[in-house]
Structure 1
Amino acid sequence: QLGHKGSAAILGVRSSFDHLEDHTIDKVTFERWLARNGLHMSTHDIDILTSHFDVDGHGHMNIEAFILGMRGNLNERRLSIVEKAFAKADKTGDGRAPVEDLVECLNVEMMPEVRKGTMTPMEGAMEFVRRLEGTTKMSEGVITKGDFVDYYSWLSCSIIDDDTFVTLIETAWEVTERDVGEDRFKLCSRVMIVHSSEKVKGVTDPVKQEQYMRTTLQHFDLENDGTLTMEQFLKAAHRMSCTMDEEIGQLFFDKFKAEGGGLDYVMMARALFNVTE
């Protein structure tokens, strides 16, 4: 019942008992709190809860453990899109991001309050920071990836549908769940494979098809060192009916990078046709 009321209700548990130094309550106190808030549980269920969140074995329920248990963790799909959002601000890749970098990446124009006109974009940014401070352990203006995930774990409590949650993150942080670049990489690979296969007429042997692709790529290897520069590779791809920009070309370089730099086109051709040496 409490979980269905969302993050505000769950955090309300913390505020109700924040005055307790040891952050624990006994079964009777918890039962009274439930009744005051219109929540009904059997004595048996209360016993189970109290026992489950009794972290020190003293018969008292630990409030923090209970809150985290009610909140739960992000499922795989939600976690993936949240991590993509954080990665935009984590410029060094060390799992830490200054708050100002997060605010810079956040599309504050899409915050409900800003869209309604009750907040200016600046006020929206300040409100976002305030919420971060209220639900994370942000220190010295820096938030960790774990804290960022925790923040959205609280928000996630109020959103039952995965699609709605993902759309919210995509809109707020201007990220996409699908890896469009990877899709284009696969499409370009397929175009070049089909081109090479069709050029070797009447031959279904992938080894022969791979050799044709390799020969086509080799034609653009002006240094004859087994590698291609970006410019050379893009021209070779165009020869094989595939027009791509440098952004997609870089995906091929990342996957088939030669030790000395450049694209190892022999490795690429063999990989695309699944041919071993």
Structure 2
Amino acid sequence: MEASTRAIVKLRTKCLEKGPAGIKGLVRHLRILAHEKNQSLDLEEFLKGLQAAGFSLEWEEAQQIFSLCDKSQSGMLDFTEFLEALRPPMSEARKKVIGEAFRKLDKTGDGLVTVEDLQGVYQSQAHPKFKSGEWTEEQVFRSFLDSFDSDKDGKVTAEEFLNYYSGISASIESEEYFEAMLRAAWRL
């Protein structure tokens, strides 16, 4: 196996050890750094982001991952290519059912899931904190969105939704079970 492939598999494994939030947490740290620097990261910033998210890799491994994802050789990290390399491989069937669930949530069809999209889809009244009067309906919705929202901007993109489910997908071997689970969860 090529060194850069081994390095990305090692990072993926470390992310998955942290559960579904592993990839999401790493991406959140990298995006914070990227927002400070025009939506892109150089190798040094990438290393800082890895360390801030609690992922210790050898400098050479981080450099191999960076080079693998910097296909344009610009010296800057492309988030889309990085995420595609980092995500555990998923079948087209899994991606399709994840897409169906996202489209069901995206009531406005604008490619983003927001609090407004959740009204009438997510039953906030069943949430214990809503029942106790501790939270409003909007707080319940925001808490739910935060499960998927890696940059905490109140909007969930299809990419963020896919990243969330890629961690879950990695722990489920059966195609049939994964699809049945999502169909039941989202009433597809």
Q: Equivalent residue for 2:30?
A: 13
Structure 1 or 2, whichever has the larger Rg, is: 1
Cα distance in 2 between the residues matched to 1:151 and 1:74: 15
Structure 1: which amino acid aligns with 2:27? I
Q: Is the aligned partner of 1:24 residue 2:41?
A: yes
Cα distance in 2 between the residues matched to 1:41 and 1:133: 22
Q: Is the contact made by 1:73 and 1:153 (CA closer than 8 Å) also made in structure 2?
A: no
Structure 2 counterparts to residues 110-149 of structure 1, below 5 A = 119-128=135-144, 134=151, 147=157, 149=158
Cα distance in 2 between the residues matched to 1:42 and 1:168: 37
Structure 1 pair 104–17 and aligned structure 2 pair: CA distance change class (3 A): same
Aligned partner of residue 24 in structure 1, secondary structure: coil
TM-score (normalised: structure 2): 0.56
TM-score (normalised: structure 1): 0.42
Aligned partner of residue 73 in structure 2, secondary structure: coil
Structure 2: which amino acid aligns with 1:18? H
Structure 2: which amino acid aligns with 1:154? N
Cα distance in 2 between the residues matched to 1:14 and 1:137: 15
Structure 2 counterparts to residues 18-57 of structure 1, below 5 A = 18-21=35-38, 23-26=40-43, 28-35=44-51, 37-57=53-73
* 1:116 Cα deviation after fit: 8.9
Identity, in percent, stands at 18
Structure 2: which amino acid aligns with 1:15? I
Q: Is the contact made by 1:156 and 1:165 (CA closer than 8 Å) also made in structure 2?
A: no
* 1:25 Cα deviation after fit: 1.0
Structure 2: which amino acid aligns with 1:54? D
Aligned partner of residue 119 in structure 2, secondary structure: helix
Structure 1 pair 44–66 and aligned structure 2 pair: CA distance change class (3 A): same
Q: Is the aligned partner of 1:103 residue 2:143?
A: no
Aligned partner of residue 40 in structure 1, secondary structure: coil
CA RMSD, Structure 1 to Structure 2 (Å): 4.5
Q: Is the contact made by 1:23 and 1:62 (CA closer than 8 Å) also made in structure 2?
A: yes
Structure 1 pair 117–31 and aligned structure 2 pair: CA distance change class (3 A): same
Matched residues, number: 164
Structure 1 gap ranges (5+)? 176-277
* 1:14 Cα deviation after fit: 1.5
Structure 2 gap ranges (5+)? 1-10
Structure 2 counterparts to residues 83-232 of structure 1, below 5 A = 83-86=99-102, 88=104, 100=116, 102-108=118-124, 119-128=135-144, 134=151, 147=157, 149-159=158-168, 160-162=170-172, 163=177, 167=181, 170-171=184-185, 173-175=186-188
Q: Deviations over 1:109-141 (max 9, x none)?
A: 566865898544443234446766957996xxx
69, 73, 82: which one pairs with 2:98? 82
With a CA cutoff of 8 Å and minimum separation of 6, indicate the structure with the bigger relative contact order. Answer: 2
Structure 1 pair 114–60 and aligned structure 2 pair: CA distance change class (3 A): same
Cα distance in 2 between the residues matched to 1:128 and 1:91: 16
